[in-house]
Every structure is written in C-alpha cells, then in structure tokens.
Amino acid sequence: MAYALQQLINGISLGMIYGLIAVGYTMVYGIIGMINFAHGDIFMVGAFVALIAIVMIVSGGLMEGPGALVLVLAIAMAFTSLYGWTVERVAYRPLRGSFRLAPLISAIGMSIVLQNFVQVSQGARVKPLEPQVTGGFEIMRDGDFAVQLSNMQILIVCTTLFVLAVFTWLVTRTSLGRAMRACEQDRRMAGLLGIDTDRTISLTFVIGGSLAAVAGTLYLLRYGVIDFYIGFLAGVKAFTAAVLGGIGSLPGAVLGGLLIGLIETFWSAYFSVQYKDVAAFSILALVLILMPTGLLGRQEVEKV
C-alpha cells in the first residue's frame, strides 16, 4: 500500500511533465493538423537553456532561493519560445496549405537539426547538475518503508498546475484564445473574419515552446542529468499522451500525460524497468484500436 502510494506520487510528478509537453503537441495539432515532431527537441532546448541559466545565476552566485528559480524559469521560457517560433517560421510556414507529408518530413528534419545543433554547441556528454531543490516530507511509514513526498515533487505539481491554470485562462478568456479556437475550427473562415491566422499560429508555437521550457526546467531539476538526446523519447511519449487523451483536446493532453506517467511508473515498479516503454506504447496501441479518437477526442463522423 505504502509502496503503491509512493509510486502514485512519482507517477503523477512524471506525468505532469509529460502533460506539459503534450499540451504543446495537441495545440499545434489542433490548429494546423500536423505532428510537430521537433517539439520534443524544443523541450530539450528548454532544459539546456535552464541549465545554462542555473549555472550562470545560482552557481555564479548572483541569486539564490525561490527567486532564482523563477528567474531561471522565465529565461528558459523566453528563449525556448523563440526557438518554437523560429521552427514554425522556418520549417512549417512555407509549407502551409501544401501536401500533408511535407511538413512532417520538414519537422523530422528540424528535430534532427535541433538535436545536432545542441550536440555541436553544448557537447555530446551528459550534463550533471547538483540537486537544486532538496528535502521533503515523510508522509507515511509502513514498516521500514517510508513514503516520501519531496519538495521537488511538490514544486513540479504546483508549477505545472499554476502554468496550466494560466494557460487555460489564456485559451478560454482572452482574444488570443478565441482566435486560436477559431483557427482550430476553420482557418480559412477565421482569416476571412479578420483574424491574423499566421500570427495566431506563431503564438501557438510560442506558447507551446514556453510550456515545453517549463517541462524542460522541471525535468532538469528533478533528474539532474540531461543530454541532447532526451527530447526524442520524452517527445514520443508526450505525443503518445496527447493521442491517448484525444489529440486536439487540451484537458485530454494533461490526462494522457498523467496516464502515461502512471503507467510507466507502476510498470517499472511492479514488472520490469526495461519494458516500461513497451507498456506505454502497447497501451497507446490498445486505446487507439478500441477508441480511435483517444479518450477525450471528438468523435469524427464520416460524411458520405
């Protein structure tokens, strides 16, 4: 019981990170109908920018404590969202309205570019970072097994919930959000009604990039090691989460992220660590075969 509770805590904090990345996938898919394959690498870039900021600010002794973390988060979000914007501008916008596979290949190319750009500029070796957020609570004890809730996990959950709350407000209550939803429904019509669709799409990438930056920062703080390759697997799993939740659905992305995090954690805890990815992917395949539009996705009616 205690063991399961611990796994639940671990799974939720991992799932939150996946959820943050998944929102970026699902937003882009919703608005331009493409898999932004480079999004996982945007997450990786976010982790690297955060690493550089931490080394500069905290290790450099400029600032300490929660204020420093907020600053790091802000820096990571600013620079990473610029990467998101650039990727869209360079690799996707010229292909708007063209044949569907072209942006997909372009996105795969962009993913290769980002990975290797970071490899070249920051080196291929893993970057270890000493723990920045330490300590925690013991919330339960069962024999000699103590259930730990670390400050880091609290930070992950709180930050994610806060960011998602802001994001939800942005999408549901602002004119930008309305424009985004309008573009999602019908881009041509939105354009005819005077919405600057190019700008709206760009902003979608900016928002997706900043959410990925939050995820990257949290990932870096939680695991303390990053390399240029972390984006691929995290990206694939986050996309899996987005599809699982029903692609295009924002709550679905978060739900899917949590599910993937929990499945992975519980599978590793009770079965085998090696096959945790197989478990996540098999569940994905199963869900899609049984409910082809995901858990919260809109049912697509086939018009004949």
Partner 1 sequence: MSGDVAAFAMAQRPRLAAAALKDAGITALVALALFAPLVGLRTDVAPNGALFLRPRWAEVAILVLLAFALRLGLVYWQAMRGPPRLPSAARAAVAARAGRLFAPVLLGLAVLLPFIPGTGRYELDLGILVLTYVMLGWGLNIVVGLAGLLDLGYVAFYAVGAYSYALLAQHFGFSFWVCLPLAGIMAAFWGVLLGFPVLRLRGDYLAIVTLAFGEIIRVVLLNWVSLTGGPNGMTGIPRPSFFGLPFSMSGGEGTFAGFFGIEPDPIHRVVFLYYLILILALLTNWVTVRIRRQPLGRAWEAMREDEIACRALGINIVATKLTAFALGAMFGGFAGAFFATRQGFISPESFTFIESAIILAIVVLGGLGSQIGVAVAAIVMIGGFELFRDLEEWRMLVFGAAMVVIMVLRPRGLVGSRTPTVALGQRRVIAAEHVAEGRG
Contact 243, 294 (CB under 8 A): yes
DSSP secondary structure code for residue 292 in this structure? T
Please, which residue, 129 or 258, has the CB nearer to partner 1?
129
The mark string for 266-295 relative to partner 1 (x by CB under 8 A, - otherwise) is ------x-xx-xx--xx-xx--xx--x---
CA angle, corner 28, sides to 8 and 70, nearest 5? 55
Distance CA 275, CA 259 (A): 16
* Strands 127-128 and 145-150, bridge-based pairing: unpaired
The least distance separating partner 1 from the CB of residue 239, rounded to whole angstroms, comes to 6
The least distance separating partner 1 from the CB of residue 145, rounded to whole angstroms, comes to 28
Distance CA 31, CA 181 (A): 8
The least distance separating partner 1 from the CB of residue 190, rounded to whole angstroms, comes to 22
Burial label, 301 (beta-carbon count in 10 A; 0-12, 13-18, 19+): exposed
Please, which residue, 4 or 101, has the CB nearer to partner 1?
101
3-state secondary structure of 62: coil
Please, which residue, 12 or 213, has the CB nearer to partner 1?
213
Q: 137 - beta bridge partners?
A: 149
**238 contributes a contact to partner 1 by CB under 8 A:** no
- What one-letter code names the amino acid at 119? Q
* Chain residues 16-35 in contact with partner 1, contact rule CB under 8 A: 29, 34-35
The kind and range of the H/E element at 145 are strand 145-150
Please, which residue, 160 or 265, has the CB nearer to partner 1?
265
- What one-letter code names the amino acid at 161? L
3-state secondary structure of 137: strand
How many chain residues touch partner 1 (CB under 8 A)?
72
Please, which residue, 12 or 23, has the CB nearer to partner 1?
23
Using CB under 8 A, which of 2, 5, 86, 266 touches partner 1? 86
The least distance separating partner 1 from the CB of residue 39, rounded to whole angstroms, comes to 13
* Chain residues 99-138 in contact with partner 1, contact rule CB under 8 A: 99-106, 108-113, 115-125, 127-130
Contact 95, 103 (CB under 8 A): yes
Contact 57, 71 (CB under 8 A): yes
* Chain residues 43-62 in contact with partner 1, contact rule CB under 8 A: 45, 48-49, 51-53, 55-56, 59-60
* Chain residues 189-228 in contact with partner 1, contact rule CB under 8 A: none
The least distance separating partner 1 from the CB of residue 275, rounded to whole angstroms, comes to 6
Q: Which region, judged by CB under 8 A, interacts with partner 1, from 150-158, 164-172, 182-190, 233-241?
A: 233-241
